[in-house]
Amino acid sequence: MKRLVWVPILVIVAAGWTVADERSGLPAWQRLNGDLGSARARIAVLHSDIDALEREANALDGDAFAIERAIREDLGLALPGETVVRLASGRPAAAAPR
């Protein structure tokens, strides 16, 4: 019966040693597990970006107004006689006719 008392004590000591020892791999596993969580969050953001780009591509397919809007916003172009006004926030404003 006395021998069985030492078993839990040895298990606790071994677990404590594993947590404290840098060479056990546990700290590396925890670091990698954190990196995995960050990578999964980044993947979710990228999937959201892909969805937005697919919606924009579908809108551009055959819609003359969407194509003109994209040209104006992305390239900063205007039709002859129009003035382009840029806002401080960096977002392009709608061109106003002269």
Question: Distance (Å, rounded) from C-alpha 83 to C-alpha 98?
Answer: 7
The domain tally of the chain equals 2
What confidence score (pLDDT) does residue 37 get? 96
Q: Are residues 57 and 74 in the same domain?
A: no
The answer to whether 70 and 60 are in contact (CB under 8 A) is yes
Token pair 């992305």 is found at: 74
Tokens representing 46 are 């990228």
56 lies in the same domain as 68: no
Q: pTM score, two decimals?
A: 0.51
- Residue span of the structural domain in which 45 resides: 1-61
Q: Within this chain, do residues 72 and 56 fall inside the same structural domain, yes or no? A: no
pLDDT means per 10 residues, the chain with 98 residues, are 74 78 78 95 97 90 85 80 75 55
What pLDDT, on a 0 to 100 scale, did the predictor assign at position 34? 94
| Residues 76 and 29 placed together within one structural domain of the fold | no
